[in-house]
């Protein structure tokens, strides 16, 4: 038996703002919450499916050094350009991490500056 990623944990100052942002980006819902300290979001089907959940955990100060984890997202029902427009309307903003401009993805930051990449839509494996 192999392991699978069950959840990703993202430290943030405002768990409500990021929960709303990522729920809109991924079509997720709030699955669980621990007051204003922690919110877990995930697929509408709930826990245990093929998609990991995201735990947004309140942290007043960013941890030292660069975050070693970022999220990549793929559009599921529109092309990359249309999804980029939608993400920018939701509050994402372009992030410069030294890209050349030739990449096939867009580097963005969520409302608290956490970097993520918008990839091109991918076909499901057969």
Q: Average the pLDDT over 4-16 and give the result.
A: 87
Contact 83, 69 (CB under 8 A): no
pTM confidence score: 0.78
DSSP string, 13-48: S-HHHHHHHHHHHHT-EEEEEETTTEEEEE-TT-TT
Tens digit of each residue's pLDDT (9 = 90 or more) over 98-124: 889 899 999 999 999 988 999 887 655
Q: Average the pLDDT over 38-49 and give the result.
A: 90
- Total residues found in the chain within this entry: 126
Tens digit of each residue's pLDDT (9 = 90 or more) over 50-91: 889 999 999 887 666 666 677 888 888 889 999 999 999 999
97 — pLDDT class (breaks 50, 70, 90):
confident
């Amino acid at each position: 038996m192999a392991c699978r990623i069950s959840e990703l944990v993202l430290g943030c100052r405002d768990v409500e703002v990021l929960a709303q942002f990522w729920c809109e980006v991924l079509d997720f819902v709030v699955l669980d919450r621990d007051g204003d300290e922690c919110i877990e979001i995930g697929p509408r089907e709930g826990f245990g499916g093929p998609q990991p959940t995201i735990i947004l955990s309140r942290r007043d100060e960013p941890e030292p050094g660069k975050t070693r984890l970022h999220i990549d997202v793929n559009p599921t029902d529109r092309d990359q350009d249309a999804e980029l427009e939608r993400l920018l309307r939701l509050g994402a903003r372009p992030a410069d991490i030294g890209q050349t401009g030739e990449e096939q993805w867009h580097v963005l930051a969520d409302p608290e500056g956490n970097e993520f990449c918008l990839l091109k839509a991918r076909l499901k494996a057969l």
